[in-house]
Amino acid sequence: MVKSTSKDAQDLFHSLHSAYTATPTNLKIIDLYVCFAVFTALIQQVAYMALVGSFPFNSFLSGVLSCIGTAVLAVCLRIQVNKENKEFKDLAPERAFADFVLCNLVLHLVIINFLG
């Protein structure tokens, strides 16, 4: 039972890997950006908080939320740019990117205001 599950797990990883390498490069770049943002958030939240504590709270909050925010916005961009996504067929990628930039601008304006 265990052997079959481990073999299944290996198969699973293989198929995941092979399917993922098939995605176009620009999407992979966006995925890398998302991973970076989430990684930063984790470092802030977990490591820094364990070491130093969460004072001042508003700076901590704005730091974590800015990372999560950029991650979320990048995922939205990826959804809109992905050619396999039928619902966004007629949305020009330039428009998607412009929206992404606008949203990021607003997000970072708020962050800087809240950073204290």
Partner 1 sequence: MVIKYESVIHEFDPYFNYRVTQFLSKNGIYEFWNWFDDRTWYPLGRVIGGTVYPGLTLTAGTIWWGLNSLNIPLSVETVCVFTAPVFSAFASWATYLLTKEVKGSGAGLAAAALLAMVPSYISRSVAGSYDNEAVAIFALIFTFYLYIKTLNTGSLFYATLNALAYFYMVCSWGGYTFIINLIPMHVLLCIVTGRYSPRLYIAYAPLVVLGTLLAALVPVVGFNAVLTSEHFASFLVFIIIHVVALVYYIKGILSPKMFKVAVTLVVSIGMVVCFIVVAILVALVASSPTGGWSGRSLSLLDPTYASKYIPIIASVSEHQPPTWPSYFMDINVLAFLVPAGIIACFSPLSDASSFVVLYIVMSVYFSGVMVRLMLVLAPAACIMSGIALSQAFDVFTGSIKYQLGASSNSTDDAEDNTSTNNAPKDDVSAGKTDKGEEIVKERSSKKGKKKEREPADKPSVKAKIKKKALVLPLEASIVALLLLIMLGAFYVIHCVWAAAEAYSAPSIVLTSQSRDGLHVFDDFRESYAWLSHNTDVDDKVASWWDYGYQTTAMANRTVIVDNNTWNNTHIATVGTAMSSPEKAAWEIFNSLDVKYVLVVFGGLIGYPSDDINKFLWMVRIGGGVFPHIKEADYLRDGQYRIDSEATPTMLNSLMYKLSYYRFVETDGKGYDRVRRTEIGKKHFKLTHFEEVFTSHHWMVRLYKLKPPRNRIRGKAKKLKSKTSSGLSSKSAKKNPWV
Binding site for partner 1 (CB under 8 A): 5, 8-9, 11-12, 15-16, 19-20, 22-23, 57-58, 61-62, 65, 68-69, 72-73, 75-77, 79-80, 84-85, 87-88, 91, 96, 99-100, 102-103, 106-107, 110-111, 113-114
Helix axes 93-115, 57-81, angle to 10 degrees: 180
> Shortest Cβ distance from residue 106 to partner 1 (Å)?
5
Q: Which is nearer to partner 1, 40 or 61 (CB)?
A: 61
Distance between CA atoms of 63 and 69, rounded to whole angstroms? 10
Cis status, amide bond into 56, omega within 30 of 0: yes
> Shortest Cβ distance from residue 21 to partner 1 (Å)?
10
> Shortest Cβ distance from residue 52 to partner 1 (Å)?
18
Greatest distance between any 2 Cα atoms in the chain: 56
> Shortest Cβ distance from residue 13 to partner 1 (Å)?
10
